[in-house]
Amino acid sequence: MPRYAFQVEYDGAPFAGWQRQKDQPSVQGALEAALAALEPDVPSIAAAGRTDAGVHATGQVAQADLRKTWEPFRLSEALNWHLKPAPVAIVACARVPEDWHARFSAIERRYTYRLICRRAPLVHDAGQAWHVRRASLDTGAMRAAAAHLLGRHDFTTFRAALCQAKSPVKTLDEVTVEEIPRAHGTEFRFHLRARSFLHNQVRSIVGTLERVGAGAWSPEDVRTALAAADRAACGPVAPPEGLYLTGVGYPDDPFA
């Protein structure tokens, strides 16, 4: 059976997450329903990562095995037709080898978290970013705190209690804080990159860095929290609506 890779973009707001749910809408369920409209009995699809309820993606990657050989462009066009009106789109499609796997072949994942500081409610960005009702945050302090998290560490402090990963030890290759002035308020974008992440790791890190930016924590407090290897030492977990899976890296980019 030919295997296809899909680069998927979605608004996570109406979904209970990526993974198929019995009684709730999911991104996987929407995509599998679209595939079933093209071919019956399509096997369950796999993704590079399972995003939680409310989390968005601009660069999720999924795979499917089909009976028919499709021209990738025609396949993506057909799927986008059947995905309507769900806020899900196939932005790229490619034929891949049968031993290629969306999850296990990946060598890095990239996430971006959006946080907007302003007193007024969000209108156009409602549900697309974390709204923090402050004038701004201390960017320098957050960058200094983020530097303590780079590299290989035991991230138990920044791991959800129900995380199923075998080990809390991960290597964080990038944690950068971008400040973007807006006409009203300031947007902060936190960019994180690693081979893989623990459950809630990104949101836990961003929630803690926000406390540093607000002056409630010092950058040194983040190093202390990391060294504690204790979930109780973590700051608040940032809400899901600001999180985006922006990309997945492979040794050979199937969409190049």
| Same domain for 96 and 167 | no
Label the pairing between strands 56-65 and 243-249: parallel
Whether 115 contacts 132, CB under 8 Å: yes
Q: Pick from 82, 105, 128: which residue ends a domain?
A: 105
Buried b (16+ CB within 10 A) or exposed e, 178-207: ebeeeeebbbbbbebbbeebbbbbbbbbbb
Would you give the DSSP letter of residue 242?
Answer: G
| Same domain for 101 and 224 | no
Q: Judge if the upstream peptide bond of residue 85 is cis by omega within 30 degrees of 0.
A: yes
Residue 236 CB partners (closer than 8 Å, separation 6+): 207, 208, 210, 211
| Same domain for 176 and 123 | yes
| Same domain for 149 and 203 | yes
Q: Does the pLDDT of residue 235 top 90, yes or no? A: yes
Read off the pLDDT band of 236 (50, 70, 90).
Answer: very high
| Same domain for 28 and 63 | yes
Whether 163 is covered by a domain: the verdict is yes
Tens of pLDDT, residues 185-217:
999 999 999 999 999 999 999 999 999 999 999
pLDDT of residue 161: 86
Active site residue 52: yes
Q: Pick from 61, 76, 105: which residue ends a domain?
A: 105
Instruction: Find the catalytic residue in 23, 52, 138, 252.
Output: 52
Question: How many other CB atoms are found less than 10 A from the CB of residue 73?
Answer: 10
| Same domain for 98 and 24 | yes
| Same domain for 113 and 99 | no
Tens of pLDDT, residues 62-116:
999 999 999 999 999 999 999 999 999 999 999 999 999 999 999 999 999 999 9
| Same domain for 141 and 95 | no
Q: Pick from 89, 105, 121: which residue ends a domain?
A: 105
pLDDT of residue 100: 97
Whether 195 contacts 167, CB under 8 Å: no
| Same domain for 172 and 97 | no
Domain that holds residue 125: 108-247
Q: How many independent structural domains does the chain possess?
A: 2
3-state SS, 56-111, equals EEEEEEEEEECCCCCCHHHHHHHHHHHHCCCCEEEEEEEEECCCCCCCCCCCEEEE
Both tokens of residue 41? 């009995």
Rounded CA separation 116/142 (Å): 15
Phi, then psi, of 49 in degrees rounded to 5: -160, 150
Q: Does the pLDDT of residue 41 top 90, yes or no? A: no
Whether 254 is covered by a domain: the verdict is no
**Identity of the residue numbered 157:** T
